[in-house]
A and B are shown apart, each in its own frame.
Chain A
Amino acid sequence: MIRLAAQRIALGCLLLVAASVLIFAGTQILPGDVAQSILGRSATPESLASLREELGLNKPAVQRYLDWLLAFLGGDLGTALSNGKDIGESVAGRLGNTLFLAGWAAALSVPLAIFLGLLSVRYQDRTPDRMISGLSLASISLPEFFIGYLLIYFLAVKLQWFPSVATLNADMPLGEKLRTIALPVMVLTMVVLAHMMRMTRAAILNVMQSAYIETAELKGLTPFNVIRKHAFPNAIAPIVNVVMINLAYLVVGVVVVEVIFVYPGMGQYMVDHVSKRDVPVVQACGTIFAAVYIGLNLVADLVSIISNPRLRHPK
C-alpha cells in the first residue's frame, strides 16, 4: 500500500512539473511581449532592446524556465512587471482570502451535500429525493452570476441582512468577516452542492445493490443505519473524489463570484493581470492553481487507496 501511495505522490509531482512547463510555454506563445506592453506607444527599437535586456527576455526559453522554476521553488515568485510589486506578497494576501472563502463554502457544502445524498438514497424515488434532486439541479443549472444577483437583490437590497459587496479587511473580527462573505459563500455552495450530492447518491446506490446490504437488512437494521454503517463506508472513494474536484473548483474557478461581489481573491488578481499582459503574475497564479488542483486530486487518490481494506490489510 505504501508503495502504491508513494508511486501516486511521485506521479503528482511529475504532473505538476509538466503543468508548469505548459503554463510557461503558453505565456511564451502569446503575441507581443512584456517590453512592448510596458513601453506602449513610446517604444523605440532601442528602448525595447534595452528593456528586454534588463528583463532577461533575450535569454533562451529553457534557461528562463529553469531560472523561474528554481526561484519559484525557493519562494521567490518574482516581481510584477506592471507595478513592480513583489508577487509573493500580493499573492499571499489574495490566496489567503480565496482560501478563507473557499474554506467556508466547503465547510457548508460538503456535509450538506453528503447528508442530502444519504437522505435521497433513504427516500429513493420518493418525494424527498425528487425535491432534493430538483432543487439542486435547478441551482446548478442557473449561471452563478444570476444566482449572485438574485441573492443580492433579495438578501442585501430588500431584506438588508448581508452586505452586497464583500470587501474584506484583515482587521475585521471573525463574525464581521463571516457576515461579509455570507452571500458569496451561499452562491458557491449552491453551485457545487448538486454535483457532490448527485455523486454521493449514485455512489451509495451503486453499493446498495451489493449482497451485503441485503444481509444488513435481514439483520433488522433500520434503513438509515444500513446506509450509514454498511453502504457509506464502501462508497467513500468515489465521494471523496467528487468532493475534491469541487474543492478545487472552489479555489480555482471562483472568478465570476469574486467579480460580482468585488472580493479581493486570487481569481480577480489573475484576471486583472492577464489583461495587463503581466506574464510573471499569470505564471505564478497559474502554477499555484495547478498545484491546488493536482494536490487535492492527489488527496482523493490517497484516500481511495487508504479506504480500500484489501490494500490496507493484505492477506
Chain B
Amino acid sequence: MTDTLLEVRNLRIDGTVRPPGERPKDINIVEGVSLTLAPGRVMGLIGESGAGKSTVGLSTLRYGRGGLRLSGEIWLNGRNIQTISPGQLRDLRGREVTYVSQSAAASFNPSIRLMDQVIEATVLHRIMSRSEAQKRAVELFGALSLPEPESIGSRYPHQVSGGQLQRVMTAMALCPKPDLIVFDEPTTALDVTTQIDVLAAIKTAIRHTGVAALYITHDLAVVAQVSDEILVLRHGKMVEHGAVQQIIEAPREEYTRALVSAHSIPHEEQAATDNPILRLEDITASYEGKIQVLTDVTAEIHPGQTLAVVGESGSGKSTLARVVTGLLPPERGRVLFDDQPLPPALADRSLEQLRELQMIYQMADVAMNPRQTVATIIGRPLEMYFGIRGAEKRRRVIELLDQIEMGESFIDRYPAELSGGQKQRVCIARSLAAKPRMIICDEVTSALDPLVANGILKLLLNLQADEGVAYMFITHDLATVEAISDSIAVMYQGRLVRYGPKSEVLTPPFDDYTDLLLSSVPELRLGWLEGVVQNRKMESAGY
C-alpha cells in the first residue's frame, strides 16, 4: 500500500431533503465513485454544479455537509477512515487532509487575525511549536507571492483582497504539511487576471511540497493546467477517468466531448451601420457625487448587433447598464436612443421608451417573484405594454415559451420548479414579450454551468437573428465575448481602454491591459499556464 495515498471504493452519499409541507425523503447524491491517488499526484474532479464534486472531495475528510451520509470505503494512509473514532477523525482533519474552499472571504473568521487562523491546525495537532509554525507561514506567504509576507499575517480578513485571501487559504492548507489537499473551486470567484496568479501560486506550491491534491472545478481549462489526471463526474456518477492529455485530446465519452468543445459557437461579425440604435456620449457618472465610476464613456450599438462590455469586477460595467436604463442619471453626457436623447432618469421616461429597452440579470432566481407562475411572469409585460389579457395573453405566452425552446408544459410552474438554465430562459422570454429593440444582458450566463450557458448563448443569437434585437452584453468572460459579439468595449477603472469591431479589438497590437486580460483566459491545452507565467517573467525582467 506504500504507493497509494488515497483509495475510495464504491463511495455512496445520501441526503435527506425536507421540502416544506411534505414528508422528508431520501435522495442519492453520489453513487459508485471509486478512485485511487498516489502520493504527490493531482487529480482533477470536474463536472457541472450538482454533479457531486465537492461532496466527493469532502468525503476524504469524512465530512458531509448538512448531514449527508457517506457509505463505502475511504482508505487513507492504509486505514479505512469510515471506521475510525471521532477523536481519530479530528486528528486526521487538519493534519493529514486539509481543505481550500471556493470562497476564502467567507471561510476566514472575520474577527481573528490571519496568522492565528493559518497556524491554528498546525499548532493544534502539535506538528510544530507556535513560533516554528509562524516562521513556516511567513515562508509560505512568500512562496505564494503574497505582498509583505512578514506582516500580512497580522491583518484581518477584510483588510486583504479576494485573490490574496485565496492564497492565504492555500498557505493555511499547506502549513501543517498534509498528505492531501482538497481544492474546491479555489479560483472560480476571482477575476481572470487574478485567477492566473493564484493558479500559478497553487501549482508551484504543489510541485515544491510534493503534496497530493484533489482539484475540484467546473472549468476544464483550469483543471488541465494543474492536474495529472482527471475524473469527470455527472449526476453523482463517474463518467470518465484518464490522464489529462487523454481527456482533453481524445475524450471517450459523449459528455466529456461536450465539455471539451463548449464555447465553440460560430458567429460571423457584422459591420457597423449608419444608424446606431443606442449612442452613449461622454458618459461620466458617480455614486452620490463621491466615487467616480465612469469617465467619458462613448460607444454605439447597432440594430440587430451585439456590443460586449468586458472588464473585471469594479471596472464600471454594471454602472454603465444602470446609466443606460436610467437607474443612475449620469453627471455628464447623454444617452441617445434612435438619435433621440433619452431622459436621464427612469421616472421621466415614457412607457414606450421603457418598452424598447429591456434588461436581463445575472441572478434569474431573484429577478422573478417566487410566488408567481411562469404565465404571470411572462404575461405581465404583455398586459402592461400592449393591454393583452385573457386567452390572447395565454396564447402569446405559449408562443414565447416555444421561442425559448421550453414549450407549453412549463406555463403553470413556479420558478422553484425550474432549473437554473430554465429560469434564465423565462427571464429572456419576459424581456422579449415587450418586443424590445434592445436588451441589456448583465452577466446572464455567469451563474450557469458551461453547457447550460452555451445553450443560453445560442438561444440569444437565434433570437437576435429572428427578431433583430440588439444586445448590450456585459460580461467578464472573454470566451463568451468572442462567441457572440460584433463589437467590443474593454473597460478598466471606469474608462474604455479599447473599443471597436470584434476583429480589431481581438487583433494585436494590444494595449497593456487588454493584453493582460486576453492572455489570462485559461486555454484548454497543456503547458498554457507555464507559458504565460514564463512570458510575464521575461517581460517584467525587461526582455
Contacts and interface: CB of A to CB of B under 8 A. Distances in A.
**Chains A and B come from one and the same complex:** yes
A210 B103 CA distance: 11
Given A218-B94, A309-B111, 4 more contacts: A215-B108, A219-B93, A219-B94, A219-B98
Nearest to A218: B99
Interface string B60-72: 0101010000000
Interface stretch (B120-128, B453-461, B511-519): B120-128
Interface of B: 61, 63, 65, 89-95, 98-99, 101, 103, 106-112, 117, 120-121, 124-125, 155-156, 158-159
Contacts of B61: 218
Contacts of B103: 211
A159 B344 CA distance: 82
A234 B111 contact: yes
Given A220-B121, A234-B110, A310-B110, A315 B92 contact: no
Pick the 3 closest A-B CB pairs, nearest first: A219-B94, A220-B94, A220-B93
A119 interface: no
Interface of A: 210-212, 214-222, 229-230, 233-234, 307, 309-310, 313, 315
30 contacts: A211-B103, A211-B107, A212-B107, A214-B63, A215-B107, A215-B109, A215-B117, A216-B109, A217-B63, A217-B93, A218-B63, A218-B93, A219-B93, A219-B94, A219-B98, A219-B120, A220-B91, A220-B93, A220-B94, A220-B95, A220-B121, A220-B124, A221-B90, A230-B109, A310-B110, A310-B158, A313-B156, A313-B158, A315-B158, A315-B159
A62 to B, nearest CB: 41
Contacts of A221: 90, 94, 120, 124
A215 to B, nearest CB: 5
Contact of A220 (B110, B112, B117, B125): B125
B90 A220 contact: yes
Given A215-B101, A217-B63, A234 B94 contact: no
Per DSSP, are chain A's interface residues mostly helix, strand or loop, or mixed? helix
A211 B101 contact: yes
A313 B111 CA distance: 10
B90 A222 contact: yes
Contacts of B124: 219-221
Given A214-B101, A233-B112, A220 B92 contact: yes
A234 B93 contact: no
A219 B95 CA distance: 8
Contacts of A310: 110, 156, 158
B111 A307 contact: yes
Nearest to A307: B111
Contacts of B117: 215
Contacts of B120: 216, 219, 221
Contacts of A211: 101, 103, 106-107
B7 to A, nearest CB: 21
Contacts of B110: 212, 234, 309-310
B99 A215 contact: yes
A219 B109 CA distance: 13
Given A309-B156, A315-B159, A218 B98 contact: yes
Contacts of B65: 214
Contacts of A230: 109, 112
Nearest to A234: B111
A45 B125 CA distance: 88
Nearest to A215: B107
Contacts of B108: 212, 215
Nearest to B106: A211
Contacts of A229: 112
A233 B158 CA distance: 16
A231 to B, nearest CB: 9
Given A215-B101, A218-B61, A219-B94, A313 B106 contact: no
A214 B66 CA distance: 11
A299 B94 CA distance: 39
Interface centre among A216, A218, A229, A310 (most CB of B within 10 A): A218
